Amino acid sequence: MGSKKLIDLTYLYEISEGNSDLINDLSEMFFKQIPEYQDLLTDSYNKKDFYNLGRIAHKAKSAILMLGLKDLANELKKMEENAKEGKNINEYQEIIAKFVRESNIVLEELREIKNNK
């Protein structure tokens, strides 16, 4: 993996006030939630259930923001708004693929951080 990290834990440290127990709890939550969001986004897209796709994008956006992925969070927000209205459907698959790709990298980076403590 390259030296440039996707993850930026600045916000996570700010909201937790450096509390390592809270950071560990939130990290565990990400390990559980991110794969679920990946599956739910893909499943909702495949079923053309765009309303739920928007709801899941909203939840995924919140988790991704905590990990410092602002650009990806902005794309999820755009998809959330569009999906609830059934607009720009041709963009969803690319955004979901980017979410899966980048969130997998972030989970690996979180594992490295956890293992280096």
Q: What is the DSSP letter of 3?
A: S
| CA angle centred on 90, ends 84 and 91, rounded to 5° | 75
Predicted pLDDT of residue 117: 64
The yes-or-no verdict on residue 78 having pLDDT over 50 is: yes
**Spans of all domains in the chain:** 10-112
Predicted pLDDT of residue 24: 84
Q: Rounded mean pLDDT of 35-44? A: 97
The yes-or-no verdict on residue 6 having pLDDT over 80 is: yes
